[in-house]
Structure 1
Amino acid sequence: MDLFDDLPEPTQTPGAQATNEEKEEESLKRKREDDDTNGKEEELKKVCKEGLPVLKGYVAARRGEREEMQDAHVLLPDMNSCLTALPSGVSRVSYFAVFDGHGGARASRFAAENLHHTLSRKFPSGETQNVDKLIKKCLLDTFRQTDEDFLKKASMQKPAWKDGSTATCVLVVDDTVYVANLGDSRAVLCRMEPEASAGGADGRGRSVTLALSKEHNPTIYEERMRIQRAGGTVRDGRVLGVLEVSRSIGDGQYKRCGVISTPDLRRCQLTANDRFIILACDGLFKVFSADEAVKFVLGVLQDGNAESKAGLKEEEGLFEAACQQLASEAVRRGCADNVTVILVSVGF
């Protein structure tokens, strides 16, 4: 039996009613204050976002003289929709990547389809200390996981897949660029050096080409030593006389010979003097130096006579034309390999 069954319902006294009304008024007041605070936070986020660089990606792909297109690419100027939550203080994440396959197109396509999803799952979120360190760890873990996932899938096939792929990924977190790369695809940044004009005002000066990635091939001393320590050999500049790169996704048969999937990581801050980033497979850089590629793009942008593409603003049309012309020029110069170029415009 419940001891309180027979107790009468409590009656509301005038004093109690007044207390309830006060509570309701206090609750409404708190709600208004919360709304004001949220509004101010949203306004602050909006102001922060407006100060971020505007990034737009353009891509050109040429098969060259190859029977199959083994390159793959991804352009995600706004990756926020892929992320469940952003780290505190971060407003926007962008992702651009190029993958150059060898021995087939399956590794490059797998990386293009899966790497950014793995990255999204591992990306830091919420209140975090040292976001920079967490992002670097996230990139390292993502490359390892992508390689493991592809090798597992490749080993289950009959016969087992022997494809491999380079990877050059540019992750832009607000105005900070993180580049993770394997193999010989590359990323370079065009930065304009301001020069003081006669009137003393700063203007755009000469271009400076900044390397954002590091090549990995068996002729580099550290790479060759790692391969030899693992029991592999380097002949004619190739692992076992066959594989041209010393780091890759896939290439299961070479993993025991010291070929690894650990990327090099580089970071830089974007400035108002930055014009664009070029990501490209080695098909471009076989016939262009990095500086030549940057100057070629600048030439198209400064010429301003590019044919306008439907739906694009004038500047967007120029970047689109520069990207297409750079890839076509690589083929014209005699590159028989696949050529993929991603051009990312940077505007403030």
Structure 2
Amino acid sequence: MGAMHGKCCCKCSTSSDGDDKEEPRGVYTGQNTHILANLSLDFVDVPSHRFRLGYTVLTQRGYYPESPDKENQDSYCIRTNIQGNPNVHFFGVFDGHGLFGTQCSNFVKDRLIEILSTDAALVDDPVNAYSAAFLATNDELHNSEIDDSMSGTTAITALVIGDKLYVANVGDSRAVLAVNEGDPGIQSWGDEETDGNDPPRLWVQDGMYPGTAFTRSVGDSMAERIGVIADPEVSTVQLTSSHPFFVVASDGVFEFLSSQTVVDMVNKYADPRDACSAIAAQSYKLWLEHENRTDDITIIIVQIKDLTNV
């Protein structure tokens, strides 16, 4: 099984103090959590093309021996039936960084989907809607009470509209679309495994600027002065019966695991909840083999079930 990869209803989140909080049906969000135990597996139909999606999510706070109380700066959002449309579903992971990375991550998690959901052109022109939503969210973050001068967040999001998958990425997280063996090609969308698509925007002669180490970010207002942008890379894929699942995850997973390894691990388990746990455990293990800490880890696995090519 190959991988297409890119730098590319319901219940509640677990808050930072461990208490469950009810949320509207069709919405999952999460932030500041250590680990989500008793993972749920939920399903949503895509009636326009007669298939369904099964999805689960896991997030785990990193291990920081010098900062044992450091918050999980990852957050995630799953929203189904966007705009009341049963064929439109959203999955996103947001990896905050900097002193106020947690606040940035949570802000973007909440506002990006709200702005997308109110765009009347979302279904007809999702690529432009995506770009507009990212830029508007970035502006709102700059104008909020959060100090994003040296803090921000990555965002890797996947939007299903009928049998199309739209992946929008800002930063170094990743989405991976599995491809059954025998089908042609592995496509990439500018992640670090196949880097080289972004122009060299971040050159300042005789200058030193603190902040983000990548060229796209939401927030990081100081780094914007030298070329960091919030405009996402957006890619479109026609889903077929050759695509059994996709994964959306933070770089806590992909720092030491390749896209192909993640695909192979998901394919090994019949239940994606078991795959989430295995990927988190392996990521954690590899971090500690290379460093004395681990990053925050967040994984969404979405199964694509019963899709035919008819």
Between the aligned partners of 1:160 and 1:189, the Cα distance in structure 2 is 32
Between the aligned partners of 1:222 and 1:298, the Cα distance in structure 2 is 31
Query: 1:260–1:298: structure 2 CA closer, same or farther, 3 Å change rule?
Result: same
Between the aligned partners of 2:111 and 2:225, the Cα distance in structure 1 is 24
Greater relative contact order: 1 or 2 (C-alpha under 8 angstroms, separation 6 or more)? 2
Query: 1:147–1:272: structure 2 CA closer, same or farther, 3 Å change rule?
Result: same
Between the aligned partners of 1:93 and 1:232, the Cα distance in structure 2 is 46
Who is 1:141 aligned against? 132
8 A contact 1:167–1:181 mirrored in 2:
yes
Who is 2:103 aligned against? 106
Who is 1:167 aligned against? 155
8 A contact 2:141–2:148 mirrored in 1:
no
Query: 1:273–1:112: structure 2 CA closer, same or farther, 3 Å change rule?
Result: same
Shift of 1:222: 3.8
For the residue of structure 1 that corresponds to 2:128, the secondary structure is helix
Across the aligned residues of Structure 1 and Structure 2, the Cα RMSD in angstroms comes to 2.8
For the residue of structure 2 that corresponds to 1:143, the secondary structure is helix
Which residue identity is paired with 1:300?
Answer: Y
Equivalent of 1:346, from 298, 301, 304? 304
Equivalent of 1:93, from 88, 99, 109? 88
Who is 1:52 aligned against? 50
Where structure 2 has 5 or more consecutive residues not aligned to the other structure, the ranges are: 1-45, 65-69, 289-293
Is 1:327 the counterpart of 2:280? The answer is yes
Shift of 1:120: 0.8
Shift of 1:208: 7.4
Between the aligned partners of 1:344 and 1:144, the Cα distance in structure 2 is 26
Greater than 3 Å deviation, 4+ residue runs: 159-162, 206-211, 219-223, 231-235
Normalised by the length of structure 1, the TM-score is 0.65
For the residue of structure 1 that corresponds to 2:150, the secondary structure is coil
Query: 1:207–1:222: structure 2 CA closer, same or farther, 3 Å change rule?
Result: closer
Who is 2:63 aligned against? 65
Normalised by the length of structure 2, the TM-score is 0.73
**Per-residue Cα deviation, 1:211-234 (whole angstroms, up to 9, x for no partner):** 4x43379x84744x2222xx4779
Is 1:150 the counterpart of 2:141? The answer is yes
**Per-residue Cα deviation, 1:323-343 (whole angstroms, up to 9, x for no partner):** 121112100222511111111
Query: 1:153–1:270: structure 2 CA closer, same or farther, 3 Å change rule?
Result: same
Which residue identity is paired with 1:261?
Answer: A
Shift of 1:241: 6.0
Query: 1:290–1:208: structure 2 CA closer, same or farther, 3 Å change rule?
Result: farther
**Per-residue Cα deviation, 1:290-323 (whole angstroms, up to 9, x for no partner):** 001111111223xxxxxxxxxxxxxxxx111111
Larger CA deviation: 144-153 vs 268-277: 268-277
Shift of 1:160: 6.4
Equivalent pairs counted in the alignment come to 249
Who is 2:261 aligned against? 292
Who is 2:228 aligned against? 259
Is 1:214 the counterpart of 2:190? The answer is yes
Between the aligned partners of 2:228 and 2:192, the Cα distance in structure 1 is 10
Where structure 1 has 5 or more consecutive residues not aligned to the other structure, the ranges are: 1-47, 195-205, 302-317
8 A contact 2:94–2:250 mirrored in 1:
yes
1:188-207 map, 5 Å: 188-194=176-182
Which residue identity is paired with 2:161?
Answer: V
**Per-residue Cα deviation, 1:134-186 (whole angstroms, up to 9, x for no partner):** 211111100000000001114xx5x6663200001100001100011001000
More helix by share: 1
Between the aligned partners of 2:267 and 2:148, the Cα distance in structure 1 is 45
8 A contact 2:148–2:220 mirrored in 1:
no
Between the aligned partners of 1:339 and 1:271, the Cα distance in structure 2 is 29
8 A contact 2:92–2:155 mirrored in 1:
yes
8 A contact 1:188–1:210 mirrored in 2:
no
Query: 1:300–1:216: structure 2 CA closer, same or farther, 3 Å change rule?
Result: closer
